[in-house]
Amino acid sequence: MNKVDKPLAGITVVELGHSVAAPYAGLILADLGARVIKVENPGAGDYARGWGPPFFQGTASAFHSLNRGKEGVAVDFTDAAQAEALRGLILAEADAVIQNLRPGILEKFGLTGEALREIKPELIWCDIGAFGTAGPLSKKPGYDPLAQASTGIMSITGEGNRPPVRVGVSLIDMGSGMWSVIGLLAGLLARKETGVGRTVSTSLFETGLAWMTVPLAGYEASGEVRKPFGSGTAEIAPYQCFETSDGWLMIAAGNDNLYRKLCGALGLESIADHPDFAANAARVINRERLISQISAVTSQISTDELGRKLDVAGVPNAPLLTVDQVSQHPQTRALDMTVRCTEDDIDLMGVPLAFDGERPRARSRAPKLGEHNAILAEDRRKEVAHAR
């Protein structure tokens, strides 16, 4: 790819990250063309290295998926020489730093955004915290499921009167990484005009609150505490998975016109204009009666046949696919979403972006622990750092 295809070519980012949030931000930036230098503890390294099985080439597949395209260095912050080498690397090379380390760690070693930006004002520093910088929970450590629980996401996920269920992917961690990237890119744009960087901050808790935008608005408007609706949603009906004779099909009749088309496709014309169901607000109120009538029909039809019927009628639908089916699905393949890195033969997911029809991607494999430590020893970095 040429430079046009890699919009962040020439940008260097240091990732002081572990687990998912900061590494996912680094992955996005690497695919966009930035040079991303991942910093790990020289002991066990990033926790995600051990998140298995499954493992690939001795390292958890989760680590590979989040860290391809990066260089990797191992730094013991308690070793003054190593901490100084990292400091020199940031001051000499970095346009931005992304960090999601436990609160207080960087302060111990003078590696905070405040300290480094005082020396290098053009640096963009991105903090990904747990519960935010203020409030009674600000000092608590955080992980994705804690944020899903404490921001209300778990309360509206799953089915009513059943035990809590978390969203099956690291929605909060990955979302926090995305917000960090958005803030970083905004900082880069502003720096072009001012020459000055900035400190960008987000947190898992804030990201969870942002994902709750619609449910929280519903509460503010009505005072109603919404229950979970399984595959459905509180505000629209019918808008959920329906069981077929051999599986499940997600049907999204998101407006009154689509509802009427659904009724026609299923032979349920008698309820298309019934006052209890004709408008979405009425369907939401009478949800259980409506769903039972639709389910009685869908359960007699195969997933493929039902999908074809609804396609002809113009009703949005999609089958419920398992992980293996998604991996091999022709739509996944047609979009060229997966990446095979050099030295690897494992398919890893790319970023959902394309520029002029071409998908940007970094193809170097995830680094081995401390693989690129030589870049910390370059004398010119120390010279630049001391000159500032």
Q: Please name every residue paired with 338 in a beta bridge, in sequence order, or none if there are none.
A: 349
Distance in angstroms (rounded) separating the CA atoms of residues 185 and 158? 35
Q: Please name every residue paired with 13 in a beta bridge, in sequence order, or none if there are none.
A: 36, 96
CB distance 114 to 140 below 8 Å: no
- DSSP-derived secondary structure letter, 94: -
Name every residue whose Cβ is closer than 8 Å to that of residue 118 and which is 6 or more positions away in sequence.
none
Catalytic residue status for 304 = no
> Of the candidates 153, 326, 156, 150, which has an alpha carbon nearest to the alpha carbon of residue 232?
156
Number of CB atoms found within 10 A of residue 330's CB:
7
For tokens 């919009």, name the residue.
Answer: 7
- Long-range own/partner contacts, residues 353-362 (CB < 8 A, 24 or more apart): 353/31, 353/32, 355/4, 355/5, 355/7, 356/4, 356/5, 358/1, 358/5, 360/1, 360/5, 360/6, 360/7, 360/31, 360/32, 360/33, 361/31, 361/69, 362/30, 362/31, 362/33, 362/68, 362/69, 362/70
Q: And the tokens for 383? A: 């010279």
Cis peptide before 53 (omega within 30 of 0): yes
Q: 31, 173, 304, 379: which one is catalytic?
A: 173
For tokens 């004709």, name the residue.
Answer: 278
CB distance 120 to 91 below 8 Å: yes
- CA 220 vs. chain centroid, Å, equals 27
> Of the candidates 163, 121, 172, which has an alpha carbon nearest to the alpha carbon of residue 388?
121
SS3 134: coil
Number of CB atoms found within 10 A of residue 52's CB:
14
Q: Which residues are tagged catalytic? A: 173
